[in-house]
Structure 1
Amino acid sequence: MKVYNVPVVFFDLDDSLINKDANSLWIRWRFRRDRWALVEAALALLSLYRAYKRGKVTHTRLSNYYRTRTMGMTLADYESSVERFFHERGQLHIYPQAASLLFAYQRQGSRIVLITGADEVVANAYGRELGVDDVISNRFDTVNDTIRGLRKPLCYGKGKVEMAKRYLEGTGIRLGETAFYSDSHADLPLFEEVGHPIVLNPNAILTSVAAERSWPVLDWR
């Protein structure tokens, strides 16, 4: 696994550092504990996942999903549930190779940033376990500790570019000096902005794009 000499390296989470997407793992875990997971799963399958595959996830779709996902929960309730989920199931899906790659970047002094479409509670759980320096993720819009949806911009597609640029503000580091690892064509906007795009466990569309552009490919599957 080649390590690039960059001050900051960004990593996607779903199907990149973990071998599934965190939302699917959550639904399967919750399904065994709460019948409401049937409603959440139906919404995810009928709307969210299809949009994700087409690269057309919108703020409205994702906010609706999270309102359904957290129905009847306070933010504190959700944090408690995610903690149980992570220890019982979520942490089991981290690729063993991830630790070696992250350690190599830490050893050379690169700042490691998880940039993911997962929500802030799930993303932070993985971030702590992986030992990354910072986490950029979708953030909740809350009223009186009740989750009403997600704030804009989404950490998805072009939104990832905007959030990565915000992260680098004041550091003197440009996106062109950083590296980014991801599995999905939905991340093409950020791939095209960084200096070192590395395709990790790619889906079919991204595999084709990587071949056309001679981007390095790393596959842990």
Structure 2
Amino acid sequence: MLATNVTPYLAIFDLDETLIAADSASLWSAYLVEKGVAPSTLLQEEKAMMEAYAKGQMDMNAYMQATLKPMIGMDSSTITAFVNEFIELHVKPALYQDAIDRIQWHKRRGDTILVISATGEHLVKPIARLLGADDAIAINLEQIDGKFTGKTTGTLSYQYGKVIRMKAWLDQQDTAFKGCYGYSDSINDLPLLDAVDRPFAVNPDPALALHAQMNEWTIMDWRHDNNILR
């Protein structure tokens, strides 16, 4: 039976390497190369920037500029078709069953599920819907006359930008949440995890694992067993 809390908790999940055993943006770049939409040189460029991301040193503006370049001039219906195929081929097989189970645990309690990711909204929002999230915050992409410009808009949901976007989202809600859970794998999300009441480090990178141990946070080991949504 679903919980009927008057004041539910908010459960915030990072997406990449937290809900899925991969980085969706990296998978997307590889998919665009495979489809002939992007040049193969994008993969090496993207790999170098992701190495900086792992150290908490990525220039997110530069990353978005490089990875959105293949989408310039494409209309939303074309991107939607690509994304739908991409999710079937590459995202569903990468889902953590433990992540699905944890989301369902929260939903049974009556909690609100929010995905916050430093990936473009064209990927994050449909993946969040697939997982049954109530809402999603992602990097906003500019469109003019229904076509992508390759530019972003607003505050990037990256590092402390996630906290800024979360607070703006909370200001728009009618619900006063009882508390907030937060789940992430990355040291880049330390500002977000510090901002929630109940932080969880999921398959954490070494820097986040050390911080979690020093602060007695719960560390969760989610394994990828290929038990996927179909």
TM-score normalized by structure 2?
0.85
Query: Which residues of structure 2 form unaligned runs of 5+?
Result: 1-6, 224-230
Number of aligned residue pairs: 215
Q: Which amino acid aligns with 2:221?
A: D
1:83-127 deviation line (CA, Å, top 9, x unaligned): 111112211111111221111100111000011112111111211
Quick one: structure 1 residues 59 and 89, their matched pair in 2 at CA, closer, same or farther if it must change by over 3 Å? closer
Partner of 1:14: 16
Provide the rounded CA distance (Å) in 2 between the counterparts of 1:71 and 1:42: 20
Contact 2:180/2:196, CA 8 A, preserved across alignment = yes
Provide the rounded CA distance (Å) in 2 between the counterparts of 1:189 and 1:56: 14
Contact 1:59/1:152, CA 8 A, preserved across alignment = no
| Structure 2 counterpart SS, 1:89 | helix
Quick one: structure 1 residues 211 and 22, their matched pair in 2 at CA, closer, same or farther if it must change by over 3 Å? same
Alignment of 1:158-173 (within 5 A): 158-169=160-171, 170-171=173-174, 173=176
Contact 1:158/1:190, CA 8 A, preserved across alignment = yes
Partner of 2:121: 120
Contact 1:136/1:155, CA 8 A, preserved across alignment = yes
Q: Which amino acid aligns with 1:216?
A: T
1:43-85 deviation line (CA, Å, top 9, x unaligned): 3123x31331232333531331233241452333222211111
- CA apart distance, 1:146: 2.5
Partner of 1:146: 148
- CA apart distance, 1:152: 2.3
More displaced stretch, 134-143 vs 51-60? 51-60
More displaced stretch, 25-34 vs 87-96? 25-34
| Structure 1 counterpart SS, 2:22 | coil
Alignment of 1:67-216 (within 5 A): 67-144=68-145, 145-169=147-171, 170-171=173-174, 173=176, 177-216=179-218
Provide the rounded CA distance (Å) in 2 between the counterparts of 1:189 and 1:213: 14
Contact 1:66/1:149, CA 8 A, preserved across alignment = no
| Structure 1 counterpart SS, 2:183 | strand
Provide the rounded CA distance (Å) in 1 between the counterparts of 2:39 and 2:81: 17
- CA apart distance, 1:163: 0.8
Partner of 2:35: 33
Contact 1:74/1:147, CA 8 A, preserved across alignment = no
Provide the rounded CA distance (Å) in 1 between the counterparts of 2:89 and 2:119: 18
TM-score normalized by structure 1?
0.89
Q: Which runs of 4+ in 1 moved over 3 A?
A: 170-174
Q: Which amino acid aligns with 1:13?
A: L
More displaced stretch, 83-92 vs 8-17? 83-92
Provide the rounded CA distance (Å) in 1 between the counterparts of 2:134 and 2:156: 21
Q: Which amino acid aligns with 1:164?
A: M
